[in-house]
Structure 1
Amino acid sequence: MLIIMSCCTATLFVSSLFFVAREAKVLYRDQQEYLVSLADMIGRNSAAALVFNDLKTAEETIRPLTQKDNVLAVYIVNKDGRLFARYQSAAQAHPALPLELLPDWASPDQVNQAVQQVTREEYTSSFLSGYASVVRPIRMDDEQVGTVVIHANARGFLNSLRYNILVALGFMGVTFLVFCLFSARLQLMISAPLLGLLAAMKEISAGKNFALRVTKPCDDEIGLLYDGFNHMLHEIEERDQILRQRQAHLQQLAHYDPLTRLPNRTLFYDRLAQALFHAERARETVAVIFIDLDHFKDINDTLGHRTGDLLLIEVAGRLATVVRSCDTVARLGGDEFTIFCQNVANEENATVVAQKLVALFATPFRLGASEIRVTASVGVTLYPHDGRTVDELLMNADIAMYHAKGCGKNVFALFDKKMNEHASERVTFLADLRQAVELEQFVLHYQPKVDLLTGKVTSVEALVRWMHPRLGMLAPDRFIRLAEEGGMIAELTEWVMRTACLQAKAWQEADLAPVRVAVNLSPFHFQRQDVKQSVCAVLGETGLDPSLLEIEITESALMQNDEYTCRVLSELREMGVTISVDDFGTGYSSLSYLHRFPINTLKIDRTFILNMTKSSEDQAIVTAIIAMAKSLKMQIVAEGVESVEQLETLKDQGCHEIQGFLVSRPVNAERVARFFTDEDHLQAHGAAAQAVPGETAHHLVNGGS
């Protein structure tokens, strides 16, 4: 508005100034034309008087001017520059005129200076001095014979000019007032909608409500601005909704497991911390439960990760049916689930919950057309009895769960402080094992396999022992699983294979009968997919004939990556390496993989051999395995043979080889070399004598382990 008013004022002032100046010029020109005409008339009438120096005639010429009230003075100057005649009005007050003070005898120079002064002030005198002046030459026959000077009162001119200025000022005032009213109206038309838009912006900014819209006041440029503002709000609202959805999605990802939709580790920790805080104030007990599925990795490896994911979803659904709404079920990762139950009255109530959790897995899981049976190991710990922090309780529940796994799985275990001590011992034992791998604190013992028809040793199985510096010699069942969990089994297996091959090469160089050495190959080698490289490297390093190496693998190793396993076993068999399946009958025992894989030998698990003379079921299983292997043209080895009765039964059923304490315990390389002869090692007394010199056959059969 200030800009508009300033522009209007400047325009009015310039316009009024122009018109006032123009009117002043017109008035001044009229005044001067009047005086010029008057001066010309006097000059014509007084020219002859000047020529003839007739003063009386000159005075008579100017006397009529005395009748004009606006004429102040008239002067006639001759050509010599002297005042010839004059008239001065005594009736009107006027300022001092340049020629008024000059006497009649004034010198020509004085007169000329005064005339020049009048000429110079001819234009300004009307505005500044209040009188108008004009100087005109008097001519006669084109010759200047004198000069006439007239001074007239400029009151009329000034009054007219003053009137015009007042009219211009009045016009400017009225116009300025109109402009003020117009500007105020224009301001309302422009600023009011803008102020409304500003108010809406502040409201939206304060409330973050981007769904608000402003009503368009008109269809001009301001209306377009409103449309643009509403469109911008629409865009912001859509982006805000997308941002909120993404934030909700990120919140979901940050706090919930994407597969099972259960709370994840982060949210579980937060909820459990709040539950413990509440339990501390209310003096309540909280049960923290750790659940781990048994053999879940085998399901992933054999049936695929997609099936494993579906199974986890089903398990999550079942777990949610056991707990109350105030409790929380979470998935920590993999096949590990955790639960905390608030306000558990006592240990018995926690036990009831754990029993229900174990019972959930009694019913098989139906995934599409398949039924999958899986069990779980459950660990339970209580707040505040077993621990007071989230980390401590979860660690204790984890320890209890591992204790349950060690007790045979598919059970639950309540945390006991002794378990913590056992866990600490396990960590120490694992550190000792890692150091033992680095320092090669292991030795190999060998157990012979004997042909049932000839009684001769066909091969020996290399069995590793750990010479622990503090605990003495440890059997494989004390450290093999720990080596697998600690990721050291691959190094240990390669050491066993290299050492056994070096020993077999040494026997060969000692001119002993050629006997194969069997090495148990870890399933982890098949996961790393470097089986052939490892075997070839060892054979190349030791120089052993591949026909003197036998690889023993478990059924689970065959099923982990059947394509790769089938290919690499075929390549090893083509090299001359013997392939055996160890502990047959305890795993999948599928005819399909026996048919597809290049297997030379099946080793019947010792559990069936030990009970076959007492259990008809085990007897039937052994008979079926032998018949199946024969139909597939495979060698049969019975493990764990400890009695002559077992020996005779296996011989009657057509078993090819046996291995067990009846022949020999696992012994060192020097002692097992005594079996590399052509004699029959199955003679009852001979077997007893050669197994462990100095001990009775009765002890070998009934007291061995």
Structure 2
Amino acid sequence: MMMRPGEKFIRNLPLQRKLMLIIMSCCTATLFVSSLFFVTREAKVLYRDQQEYLVSVADLIGKNSAPALVFNDLKSVQETIRPLTQKSNILAVYILNQEGRLFARYHALEAEHAALPLEYLPDWASADDVARAMQQVSGESYTSSFLSGYASVVQPIRLDHEQVGTVVIQANAKGFLHSLRWTILVALGFMAVTFLVFCLFSARLQLMISAPLLGLLAAMKEISAGKNFALRVTKPCDDEIGMLYDGFNDMLHEIEERDQILRQRQAHLQQLAHYDPLTRLPNRTLFYDRLAQALFHAERSHEAVAVIFIDLDHFKDINDTLGHRTGDLLLIEVAGRLGTVVRSCDTVARLGGDEFTIFCQNVASPENAALVAQKLVALFAAPFRLGASEIRVTASVGVTLYPHDGRSVDELLMNADIAMYHAKGCGKNVYSLFDKRMNEHASERVTLLADLRQAIEQGEFVLHYQPKVDLLTGKVTSVEALVRWMHPRLGMLAPDKFIRLAEEGGMIAELTEWVMRTACLQARAWQEADLAPVRVAVNLSPFHFQRQDVKQSICAVLGSTGLDPALLEIEITESALMQNDEYTCRVLSELRDMGITISVDDFGTGYSSLSYLHRFPINTLKIDRTFILNMMKSSEDQAIVTAIIAMAKSLKMQIVAEGVESVDQLETLKDQGCHEIQGFLVSRPVNAERVARFFTDEDHLQAHTAAADTLEGGTARQLVRGTE
């Protein structure tokens, strides 16, 4: 809505002037109305007095001139009105006869007044002309006193109650106007004095109102400038302004509380934005910022900075088997230990997951950086005590140096990450200093990952099969399907070269489904070729259990290939069992009810425990090859193998020993009651045509044992090896 200029001007006036304007406007209006009433009343009184005087004169003239008027005695009438010449205020007197014509007149010569309606009528004027003039006199009888300066009165002349004529008197109204002016001057003087008094009073009154409000405004400005919400204002009175002060103080109290909460939340958000909520260490953002500042300082001071990347080994297994709560507690303990190694000028940060980073300023040499890395690795030698249990975990450490290995934050972190992965490749629980040749390896890894995607699309994979033989009969009971990659540039690659890449690249589910479908089709082909029924074993990645589509995938493959579920064996790792034990237990039970055999692969390398084995529907335990290879020269490994076999028997499970390469291993396993073996002593992984030769009723162990006995010094281990 558009405001008028005057309204806009008033709205923009200061409060004091607005109050002054309101008070003075009200006072002025009141004084004006009161004075107007007084002047009007006084004017009416003066006018009434004037008219009463003229009426009395007219009555006197009428009584004296009535007989003469009846007898048409002009001279007598003139004699009657002649004394009026002595009245200075009488301007004119007119006598009208009964017919309404002018009969006699008197006019004061020294006071001619051109505005008198009857003045210029001739004595012979008609009755109509006189009547029109009389109407004008009657119509202006009131206003003429104020506007024309003369007063008029018309009075009938009666004789014996009969009108015989009319007398018209017009008098000078100067006395009336003079009295009226005096009255107006008195009223104006009264207004002026009263207005002055009101000005003084209103100034004091508006000060009483505006001073507290201005004080409140000053307090608001002070609080706004200083953000001091703890300030309070003193209430000046108990009226509405005092209530306003109380409300203002209450509002300040509320704002102060909210400001405190806001500051706490801002501090919390600042903490969340720059610190890891679990370990309270700096996060990636703060680490990047601090490292950038450290590099800037190092460049100016010509100093070296060591950037260290730390990754816990097998941390995922701890999360999967012991739960994420235990994993979180472990990360907190690790963060505490890392802080004991570095100096106050260095920074320890958690980038996410089980990855930690450290940068150390003013590092004199690579040897000093290596010394810090050694201390970091040594931190993990002692077990971590979490509540009532102890957990052992190791770490792989990568180290890079500024400015030798890189000059930017991203480059240094990338190099430290590459060095850390190199340490993992060297067996873990070690540190590795960055070397530029590692970049070539990392580049090859990226290239291999891209090739892997293309390999799945172009079908560059093949399956080899390794038989499992019953120790009592020597017959093949099943074969394990092992995938190989026929790389067009690098040749045949074993699974350890690309399986982890497939898991990291999110392609393991697609690759596993191809392996299962191909193996089931091959098993169906062996069936149709009237060969002895042999199960085919396929390794399932833990990622299938994370996706929770294991049963659907297996049922889809069996349905499309038409393979009897009894001829399919599923091999899973211990970590896959522990990822989601409720779901895994339910799915494995459903699969075993279908007739599928369930095996636990590489048993003994994880968190092997009867506490979970008896809860899962497991048919077979496969003892990991590392225990089999060392059992003949390590009493500890032999004791582990003996314990696993005894435990499996107590749970009524089949036992398969992987990696059997010598007759001594074979005989020892047979003596301890192992059910089946798998290894180079029988056959290395071969293609489908060659493995089909084992599908006979003959004793395959007898022939291979005889061949092995001809080798001196147990050199059966030197048979051509393939990687499972």
The answer (yes or no) to whether the contact 2:663–2:709 under 8 Å persists in 1 is no
Query: Partner residue of 2:537?
Result: 518
Distance 1:583 1:195 in 2: 85
Distance 1:36 1:527 in 2: 123
Shift of 1:145: 5.0
Query: Partner residue of 1:502?
Result: 521
| Aligned with residue 198 of structure 2, among 179, 190, 194 | 179
SS in 2 for 1:443: strand
Give me the CA root mean square deviation.
3.6
Query: Partner residue of 1:615?
Result: 634
Distance 2:605 2:598 in 1: 18
Judging changes above 3 Å, is the alpha-carbon distance between structure 1 residues 340 and 130 closer, same or farther for their aligned structure 2 residues?
same
| Aligned with residue 350 of structure 2, among 331, 345, 354 | 331
Q: Which amino acid aligns with 2:289?
A: D
SS in 2 for 1:351: helix
| Aligned with residue 661 of structure 1, among 650, 655, 680 | 680
Query: Partner residue of 1:442?
Result: 461
| Aligned with residue 718 of structure 2, among 699, 702, 705 | 702
Judging changes above 3 Å, is the alpha-carbon distance between structure 1 residues 141 and 344 closer, same or farther for their aligned structure 2 residues?
same
Judging changes above 3 Å, is the alpha-carbon distance between structure 1 residues 305 and 135 closer, same or farther for their aligned structure 2 residues?
closer
Distance 2:22 2:363 in 1: 80
Shift of 1:317: 1.9
Shift of 1:258: 1.9
The answer (yes or no) to whether the contact 1:601–1:637 under 8 Å persists in 2 is yes
Question: Which of 514-523 and 316-325 deviates more?
Answer: 514-523
Judging changes above 3 Å, is the alpha-carbon distance between structure 1 residues 38 and 284 closer, same or farther for their aligned structure 2 residues?
same
Shift of 1:303: 0.9
Please give the residue correspondences for 1:460-475 in structure 2 after superposition, counting only pairs within 5 Å. Answer: 460-475=479-494
Q: Which amino acid aligns with 1:272?
A: L
Judging changes above 3 Å, is the alpha-carbon distance between structure 1 residues 30 and 394 closer, same or farther for their aligned structure 2 residues?
same
Distance 1:476 1:134 in 2: 137
Shift of 1:427: 1.0
Please, which runs of 5 or more residues in structure 2 have no aligned partner?
A: 1-19
Deviations 1:539-598 (A, max 9, x none): 333333333333333333333333343444344444433333333333333234444444
Q: Which amino acid aligns with 1:168?
A: A
Distance 1:666 1:121 in 2: 139
Distance 2:153 2:463 in 1: 147
The answer (yes or no) to whether the contact 1:95–1:129 under 8 Å persists in 2 is no
Judging changes above 3 Å, is the alpha-carbon distance between structure 1 residues 62 and 409 closer, same or farther for their aligned structure 2 residues?
same
Distance 1:453 1:84 in 2: 173
Distance 1:42 1:563 in 2: 135
Shift of 1:698: 8.1
Distance 2:70 2:613 in 1: 162
Judging changes above 3 Å, is the alpha-carbon distance between structure 1 residues 357 and 32 closer, same or farther for their aligned structure 2 residues?
same
Distance 1:28 1:642 in 2: 147
Q: Which amino acid aligns with 2:447?
A: T
Query: Partner residue of 2:498?
Result: 479
Q: Percent identity?
A: 87
Q: Which amino acid aligns with 1:458?
A: T
The answer (yes or no) to whether the contact 1:688–1:697 under 8 Å persists in 2 is no
SS in 2 for 1:662: coil
Question: Which of 516-525 and 393-402 deviates more?
Answer: 516-525
Distance 1:655 1:52 in 2: 175
Q: Which amino acid aligns with 1:311?
A: L
| Aligned with residue 558 of structure 1, among 577, 581, 591 | 577
Judging changes above 3 Å, is the alpha-carbon distance between structure 1 residues 678 and 426 closer, same or farther for their aligned structure 2 residues?
same
Distance 2:107 2:35 in 1: 38
The answer (yes or no) to whether the contact 1:292–1:337 under 8 Å persists in 2 is yes
Judging changes above 3 Å, is the alpha-carbon distance between structure 1 residues 342 and 70 closer, same or farther for their aligned structure 2 residues?
same
Judging changes above 3 Å, is the alpha-carbon distance between structure 1 residues 521 and 135 closer, same or farther for their aligned structure 2 residues?
closer
Query: Partner residue of 2:657?
Result: 638
The answer (yes or no) to whether the contact 2:663–2:708 under 8 Å persists in 1 is no
| Aligned with residue 249 of structure 1, among 268, 278, 302 | 268
| Aligned with residue 389 of structure 1, among 408, 412, 420 | 408
The answer (yes or no) to whether the contact 1:644–1:684 under 8 Å persists in 2 is no
The answer (yes or no) to whether the contact 1:99–1:114 under 8 Å persists in 2 is no
Does residue 303 (structure 1) correspond to residue 306 (structure 2)? The answer is no
SS in 1 for 2:381: coil
| Aligned with residue 219 of structure 1, among 224, 229, 238 | 238
The answer (yes or no) to whether the contact 1:662–1:688 under 8 Å persists in 2 is no
The answer (yes or no) to whether the contact 1:489–1:522 under 8 Å persists in 2 is yes
Judging changes above 3 Å, is the alpha-carbon distance between structure 1 residues 509 and 16 closer, same or farther for their aligned structure 2 residues?
closer
SS in 1 for 2:343: coil
Query: Partner residue of 2:367?
Result: 348
Number of residue pairs the alignment of both structures matches: 700
Distance 2:436 2:676 in 1: 48
SS in 1 for 2:655: strand
Judging changes above 3 Å, is the alpha-carbon distance between structure 1 residues 72 and 339 closer, same or farther for their aligned structure 2 residues?
same
SS in 2 for 1:514: coil
Judging changes above 3 Å, is the alpha-carbon distance between structure 1 residues 360 and 60 closer, same or farther for their aligned structure 2 residues?
same
SS in 1 for 2:701: coil
Shift of 1:354: 1.5
Query: Partner residue of 1:190?
Result: 209
Distance 2:709 2:565 in 1: 29
The answer (yes or no) to whether the contact 1:77–1:85 under 8 Å persists in 2 is yes
Distance 1:56 1:649 in 2: 181
Please, which runs of 5 or more residues in structure 1 have no aligned partner?
A: none
Query: Partner residue of 1:322?
Result: 341
- Given the two structures, how large is their TM-score scaled by the length of structure 1? 0.88
Judging changes above 3 Å, is the alpha-carbon distance between structure 1 residues 513 and 355 closer, same or farther for their aligned structure 2 residues?
same
Query: Partner residue of 1:488?
Result: 507
Distance 2:156 2:704 in 1: 178
Query: Partner residue of 1:236?
Result: 255
Query: Partner residue of 2:398?
Result: 379
Question: Which of 422-431 and 440-449 deviates more?
Answer: 440-449
- Given the two structures, how large is their TM-score scaled by the length of structure 2? 0.86
Q: Which amino acid aligns with 1:334?
A: G
Q: Which amino acid aligns with 1:8?
A: C
Shift of 1:417: 0.9
Judging changes above 3 Å, is the alpha-carbon distance between structure 1 residues 94 and 416 closer, same or farther for their aligned structure 2 residues?
same
Deviations 1:576-622 (A, max 9, x none): 33333333333333234444444443333333333333333333333
Please give the residue correspondences for 1:5-84 in structure 2 after superposition, counting only pairs within 5 Å. Answer: 5-50=24-69, 61=80
SS in 2 for 1:446: strand
Distance 2:369 2:428 in 1: 19
Query: Partner residue of 2:219?
Result: 200
Distance 2:655 2:140 in 1: 148
Q: Which amino acid aligns with 2:279?
A: T
Shift of 1:425: 0.4
Distance 2:140 2:506 in 1: 120
Deviations 1:53-86 (A, max 9, x none): 6677666655655666655666666668898777
